[in-house]
A and B are shown apart, each in its own frame.
Chain A
């Protein structure tokens, strides 16, 4: 009996030890990756990175044009994707809560949420770049918008479902129509949660590279023309990192550092917002 008990305890200790190890292993990668980013990218961080254009190989320069390009692409994608996502989420949570359509849309939306982003790039290439005959910033923004929509749909629906029904009933009893109840009461109650969704969407797309490779392409020069190829930070990192030139590689590391910390700051802000909502 005692021997059996000892064996069970031993097995338990091994399993629990392994689970602690697994956690250390998982967290270790985060530390290693962030550490490498700071190690390789921090030295390159200077004012010039934010004020100068991407250089030809062998000379100094910065990342101004890809940073501005990324900002434009991201803003435009959010501008296109958010309204569509919010409206679709509204239908699913409010008008069609018990519809067949909602079940189908939710299923498809969840699939789009994890669909490979490179396929989205191919899709936009087929419907925009090929017919127009040239790469364009607009195509890149639309590709990113296709990635934004499912994220926003999901959070909007979830957050509207959390709005307590008595609020809707009270507003309806005052004589408001359904549309007014949704816009003036439900949206306001779910505001923070919906904002979280948009922040998560920004975090998601600001590091996306694959869908931009053959839509917005890249541009070595200053370009804010939506109708032409537009540089973006992730694509420049991709190009510079795989180049044989040392200065380009170190600029790529600096760009990687900027993107990562922006994205992490965004997702931590989103989480903090969500948490503050839960507590209040």
Chain B
């Protein structure tokens, strides 16, 4: 018996075919694996939405649309309404944006127009580090340092200043608690500042130098260049960045939970304690007894997710549009 050693062209062709097959299979396998992972990202979003809807069904069935417009929040009689947390979320975010948008834009103006080159990176990084500090740190700092400080300085000042002005006096009424809606809004402002700054700096830097040089060439001051060339050119991107910051502010949890006071009522005064959607969930979820209570909290989560989803989607859409225009 002789061992037949395969030789010749036929053998080479067959091993090559096998190797090619193996490669093709490996490639197909890897391709499918990565595709599955990409689909997995979509699946996560779908699962989040579905689980929130199924979890909040009992509450939505029990209260219907009333849930959105009722202010009561009574765990004892199991009557729940989301108006106070929704109001608190919107008001704190509004205060935050009122401060963070102008300050953030001015910082980007400083970074792109005034700052000496060697200082740009360190200052940019320092501002971005503010975004890296975990939310709970803002919370503990807000509760023990910032709120007592406000209680002794800013809040009495506001009360005295607007005490006799109609309308504004009710906005700044009541004793200075330290914690409350205003404090939460101010802390949110510090937290979203880096997001607004870094995006508006990026879009400011994308302005073609020729445009700015032309404006300087006809004798514009730096402020006029920013006001009439840079901002109009980057408007869409800046709005996108602002919306992104707003999305963050709306969903921010721990820092707000520490300083808002967790009171389920709507007060005219922004010095009074209030609550937000995320703070209510964080404070009450583990202590919630009864299915209806838990389900109402999940329904709050659903509302928060829908609001932030809309804001973030709008932000991304605007930022995509500016990318397309540039590209």
Contacts and interface: CB of A to CB of B under 8 A. Distances in A.
Secondary structure of the B contact surface, majority rule: helix
Of the candidates A91, A105, A259, the one having the most CB atoms from chain B within 10 angstroms of its own CB is: A91
A260 B308 contact: no
B250 A116 contact: yes
Contacts of A153: 41
B251 A264 contact: no
B237 interface: no
A30 B104 CA distance: 15
A23 B110 contact: yes
B38 A96 contact: yes
B34 A94 contact: yes
Contacts of A15: 109, 222-223, 226-227
A109 B48 CA distance: 13
A169 interface: no
Contacts of B12: none
B140 interface: yes
B244 A114 contact: yes
Chain A binding surface, main DSSP class = helix
Contacts of A23: 106-107, 110-111, 115, 123
Contact of B312 (A115, A207, A253): A115
Contacts of A114: 244, 247-248, 251, 308, 312
B11 interface: no
B171 interface: no
Interface residues of A, number: 90
A93 to B, nearest CB: 10
Interface in B264-322: 278, 281-282, 285-286, 297-298, 301, 304-305, 308-309, 312-313, 316, 320
A90 B42 CA distance: 15
A19 B110 contact: yes
A88 B312 CA distance: 21
A175 to B, nearest CB: 9
Contacts of A111: 45, 309, 312-313, 316
Nearest to A270: B132
Contacts of A167: none
Interface string A75-111: 0000000011101101110111000011011011111
Given A9-B221, A18-B106, A19-B110, A88 B133 contact: no
B308 to A, nearest CB: 6
A210 B278 contact: yes
Given A88-B37, A127-B51, A213-B286, A11 B137 contact: no
A233 to B, nearest CB: 9
Contacts of B190: 29
User: Counting chain A CB atoms within 10 Å of each CB, which of B136, B251, B253 scores highest?
Assistant: B136
B173 interface: no
B214 interface: no
Contact of A122 (B52, B136, B140): B52
Interface residues of B, number: 91
**Listed residue (A21, A29, A37) with the most chain B CB atoms within 10 angstroms of its CB:** A29
B73 interface: no
Interface in B44-92: 44-45, 47-48, 51-52, 54-55
Given A20-B114, A37-B141, A209 B136 contact: yes
A63 interface: no
A60 interface: no
A253 B286 CA distance: 24
Contacts of A179: 23, 26-27, 29-31
Interface in B1-58: 23-24, 26-27, 29-31, 33-42, 44-45, 47-48, 51-52, 54-55
A235 to B, nearest CB: 9
Contacts of A209: 134-136, 253-254
Contacts of B253: 116-118, 209-210
Given A111-B45, A209-B136, A26 B51 contact: no
A124 to B, nearest CB: 9
B38 A92 contact: yes
A126 B126 CA distance: 38
Contacts of A277: none
Given A87-B33, A116-B252, A153-B41, A26 B137 contact: no
Contacts of B304: 116, 118-119
A182 interface: yes
A125 B281 CA distance: 12
B223 A122 contact: no
A71 interface: no
18 contacts: A16-B114, A19-B110, A23-B107, A27-B126, A30-B126, A36-B141, A87-B36, A95-B34, A95-B35, A105-B38, A105-B42, A111-B312, A118-B282, A213-B282, A238-B254, A260-B134, A264-B129, A268-B125
Interface of A: 8-9, 11-12, 15-16, 18-23, 25-27, 29-30, 32-33, 36-37, 40, 83-85, 87-88, 90-92, 94-96, 101-102, 104-105, 107-112, 114-120, 122-123, 125-127, 146, 149-150, 153, 177-180, 182-183, 203, 206-210, 213-214, 217, 234, 237-238, 241-242, 249, 252-253, 256, 259-260, 263-264, 267-268, 271
Given A23-B107, A119-B301, A207-B135, 17 more contacts: A26-B193, A32-B145, A84-B40, A91-B35, A96-B38, A105-B41, A107-B320, A111-B309, A115-B48, A116-B304, A118-B282, A122-B281, A177-B27, A207-B137, A214-B285, A241-B143, A268-B129
